[in-house]
């Protein structure tokens, strides 16, 4: 069966510290992968998407970066966190040219 794993579930990090959030998908190959963020009181916003290994597209200018070192692995990173990076981060995947979406369980990041 197809599953998506995202960790950690909760993270509290000081301003200026690095960040690494990981997402892995099982049971499918060559998925589209996405990182979304939900800031307090706002809707989900697409940060990055990837249609293949090493292919990353950024939707909004920001302090974050993404990488896809393997087909089913998607990593969200930052070298130095800002207070404004706080939020709920969701990984998701879809099958190319099909419209079904599967979401991870999310990571709640608080930058202090």
Contact positions vs another protein (CB under 8 A): 32, 34, 36, 38, 42-46, 49, 51, 57, 59, 88, 90, 94, 96-103, 105-106, 108
Shortest Å distance, C-beta 82 to another protein = 21
Give whichever of 78 and 89 is closer to another protein, judged by the CB atom.
89
Beta carbon nearer to another protein, 32 or 86: 32
Q: How far is the CB of 78 from another protein (least distance, A)?
A: 20
DSSP secondary structure of 75-104: EEEESS--GGG-EEEEEEEE-TT---EEE-
Give the contacts of 87 (CB within 8 A, at least 6 positions apart).
Answer: 37, 38, 39, 40, 108, 109
Whole-angstrom distance, CA of residue 53 vs CA of residue 107: 23
Q: Provide the minimum distance between the beta carbon of 51 and another protein in the complex, in angstroms, as a whole number.
A: 6
């Amino acid at each position: 069966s197809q599953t998506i794993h995202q960790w950690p579930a909760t993270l509290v990090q000081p301003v200026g510290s690095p960040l690494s959030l990981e997402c892995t998908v099982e049971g499918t190959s060559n998925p589209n992968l996405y990182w979304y963020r939900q800031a307090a009181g706002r809707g989900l916003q697409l940060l990055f998407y990837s249609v293949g290994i090493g292919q990353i597209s950024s939707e909004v200018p920001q302090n974050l970066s993404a990488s896809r070192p393997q087909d089913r692995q998607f990593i969200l990173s930052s070298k130095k966190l800002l207070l404004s990076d706080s939020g709920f981060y969701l990984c998701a995947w879809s099958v190319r040219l099909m419209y079904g979406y599967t979401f991870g369980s999310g990571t709640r990041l608080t930058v202090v």
